[in-house]
């Protein structure tokens, strides 16, 4: 470009720049390089693609690696928008005010260093975090306060590091109407786990479920970065940092309870069920009941406020494969019937119900229907007690009690099963819940607006299988061995007094009769 242009050439350049943001940026924008100082902004091909998308689509969401210059490209685009268009109102939003203010500073720097002749509008109001042009266009930075941008009609909303903005779901509800007159939005960020607004919006955009145009820019898009650069850059980074900062990997970038790499292993088993049955088709079956296979049914009952679900899993306790699952919103009496029928279908398997307030109602219904194998434990200890003994005792309780003490224990047990590959999860519903199950101030819980009902039912199942059932199996095997030894040795437990009739022992027929009566009186000794 010539250093001195004629009026005709100036007008031609202004027109060309006003029509094409990439032309304007490539030829007249300058940026500050940390080592080289002020240099011309020569856009890479992926940055040119981003500029084209900003033009072609009202809503753009960019999943990116760090240090690709996307914030700088966005700032340059804002300069073009404000300079060549009248009365444009731009809001830059970020989780920290300093982050938003920094992007506004980039906009101001690029504008200040443009040739004077191309500045067809001048700065009229100049503040540290905002400024206005003589053509009525303006820009300001804002943090994520509850009323950010609500009272304004926006031409462009820029959400920087959107995945890190807390409560963006609620903010977006208020901000979206400000764009209703044709306003645009650019949301860009590195990933920060799953379940947040940025993750949900990006996934929905890929599925075509919203108006956002998705872009993904991993570290490889930069022409100056190769495998050698990657290995050097990641030498002192954790796996989570690499996923977040460079690889654009949602699942491995967050503070999830379950190890992301183990979650990738689980995903290979996730599949649609063989059957979707029940009156609401929410009873999913991957494997039908097989004779002789010991099953376990673990259930979590909805609170009744309409925000969660009544759920259960059925596991093959030998392999801990999830073979069946239910998730739906049923009344306690209907859920009890579903539990009863499912338990009978799978060999009168043990049913473990979380005995919260509504859970007790479900357990009472199961007792009324005389279900034969309900989990009981000694109060305050969670020491398993068989149903026959429990019904005759006063210190036992039906179901499993989840409390502040037991919740971390059962979650830890499920995490142990997942980490060691001891459980096979077929269910996409459970898998999706696990992806949004995070550490929140040291407490394992679902992300906001997500549920963890399936997770808690699964955790209870793992706990019961690895504690009560294992101990019960040991007791059964011991009792069987003890009784077998008595028969083999042709002995019997004799409580008669010497000299009484029968002291010398009974006939073989009487011994068999005695063992038969023992079985009838104490069936739990032989169960399994």
The span from the CA of 343 to the CA of 346, in Å, is 5
Secondary structure in 3-state letters for 40-59: ECCCCHHHHHHHHHHHHCCE
The span from the CA of 476 to the CA of 462, in Å, is 20
Cβ(26)–Cβ(79) under 8 Å?
no
Angle subtended at Cα 436 by Cα 220 and Cα 306, rounded to the nearest 5 degrees: 145
The span from the CA of 264 to the CA of 259, in Å, is 9
Residues recorded for the chain: 528
pLDDT tens-digit readout, 406-438: 899 999 999 999 999 999 999 999 998 998 888
C-alpha 276, offset from chain centre: 24
Q: Is the pLDDT of residue 516 over 60?
A: no
7-251 shares its CATH topology with 264-469: no
Structure token digits, residue 449: 């607006």
* Average pLDDT across the chain, whole number: 85
What are the sequence ranges of the domains in the chain?
A: 7-251, 264-469, 492-528
Cβ(79)–Cβ(30) under 8 Å?
no
What pLDDT score was predicted for residue 289?
97
Least confident of 9-18, 112-121, 302-311: 302-311
Is residue 445 very low, low, confident or very high in pLDDT (cuts 50, 70, 90)? Answer: confident
CATH number of the domain at 7-251, out of 3.40.80.10, 3.40.50.300, 3.40.640.10, 3.30.1540.20?
3.40.50.300
Q: By percentage, how much of the chain surpasses pLDDT 70?
A: 85
Cβ(418)–Cβ(258) under 8 Å?
yes
Report the predicted TM-score, pTM, of the whole model to 2 decimal places.
0.61
Is residue 257 very low, low, confident or very high in pLDDT (cuts 50, 70, 90)? Answer: confident
Q: Is the pLDDT of residue 512 over 70?
A: no
Tell me which fold the domain 264-469 belongs to: Nucleotidyltransferase; domain 5 (3.30.420)
Q: By percentage, how much of the chain surpasses pLDDT 90?
A: 58
Nearest 10 degrees: CA dihedral of 512, 516, 521, 524? 110
Q: Three-state DSSP class for 528?
A: coil
pLDDT tens-digit readout, 474-489: 544 544 554 555 455 5
Phi, psi of 92 (to 5 degrees): -105, 120
What pLDDT score was predicted for residue 511?
45
């Amino acid at each position: 470009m010539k250093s001195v242009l004629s009026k005709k050439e100036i007008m031609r350049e202004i027109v060309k720049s006003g029509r094409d943001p990439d032309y304007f940026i490539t030829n007249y924008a300058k940026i500050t390089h940390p080592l080289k100082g002020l240099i011309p902004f020569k856009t890479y091909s992926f940055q040119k693609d981003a500029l084209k998308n900003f033009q072609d689509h009202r809503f753009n969401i960019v999943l990116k690696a760090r240090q690709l210059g996307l914030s700088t490209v966005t700032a340059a685009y804002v300069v073009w928008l404000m300079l060549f268009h009248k009365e444009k109102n731009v809001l830059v939003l970020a989780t920290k005010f300093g982050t938003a203010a920094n992007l506004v500073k980039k906009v101001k720097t690029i504008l200040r260093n443009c040739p004077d002749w191309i500045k067809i509008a001048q700065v009229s109001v100049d503040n540290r975090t905002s400024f206005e042009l003589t053509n009525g266009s303006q820009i300001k930075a804002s943090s994520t306060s509850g009323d950010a941008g609500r009272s304004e009609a926006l031409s462009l909303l820029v959400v920087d590091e959107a995945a890190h903005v807390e409560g963006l779901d609620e903010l977006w509800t208020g901000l979206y109407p400000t764009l209703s007159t044709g306003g645009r939005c650019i949301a860009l960020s590195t990933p920060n786990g799953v379940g947040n607004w940025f993750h949900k919006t990006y996934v929905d955009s890929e599925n075509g479920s919203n108006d956002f145009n998705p872009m993904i820019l991993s570290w490889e898009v930069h022409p100056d970065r190769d495998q050698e650069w990657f290995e050097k850059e990641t030498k002192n980074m954790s796996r989570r940092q690499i996923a977040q900062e460079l690889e654009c990997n949602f699942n491995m970038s967050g503070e999830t309870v379950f190890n992301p790499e183990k979650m990738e292993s689980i995903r290979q088993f996730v599949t649609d069920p063989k059957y979707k049955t029940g009156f609401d088709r929410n009873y999913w079956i991957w494997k039908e009941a097989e004779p002789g296979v010991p099953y376990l049914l673990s259930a979590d009952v909805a609170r009744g406020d309409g925000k969660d679900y009544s759920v259960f899993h059925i596991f093959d306790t030998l392999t801990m494969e999830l073979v069946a699952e239910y998730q739906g919103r049923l009344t306690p009496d209907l859920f009890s019937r579903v539990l009863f029928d499912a338990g009978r279908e799978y060999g009168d398997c043990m049913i473990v119900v979380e005995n919260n307030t509504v859970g007790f109602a479900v357990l009472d219904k199961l007792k009324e229907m005389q279900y034969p194998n309900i989990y009981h434990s000694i109060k305050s200890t969670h020491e398993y007690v068989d149903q026959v003994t429990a019904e005759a005792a006063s210190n036992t309780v039906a179901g499993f009690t989840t409390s502040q003490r037991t919740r971390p224990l059962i979650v830890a047990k499920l995490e142990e099963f997942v980490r060691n590959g001891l459980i096979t999860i077929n269910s996409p519903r459970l898998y999706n819940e696990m992806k949004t199950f995070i550490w929140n101030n040291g407490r394992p819980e679902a992300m906001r607006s997500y549920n963890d009902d399936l997770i808690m039912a699964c955790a209870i199942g793992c706990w019961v299988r690895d504690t009560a059932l294992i101990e019960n199996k040991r007791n059964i095997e011991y009792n069987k061995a003890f009784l077998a030894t008595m028969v083999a040795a042709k002995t019997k437990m004799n409580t008669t007094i010497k000299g009484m009739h029968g002291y010398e022992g009974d006939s073989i027929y009487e011994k068999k009769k005695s063992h038969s009566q023992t079985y009838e009186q104490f069936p739990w000794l032989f169960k399994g």
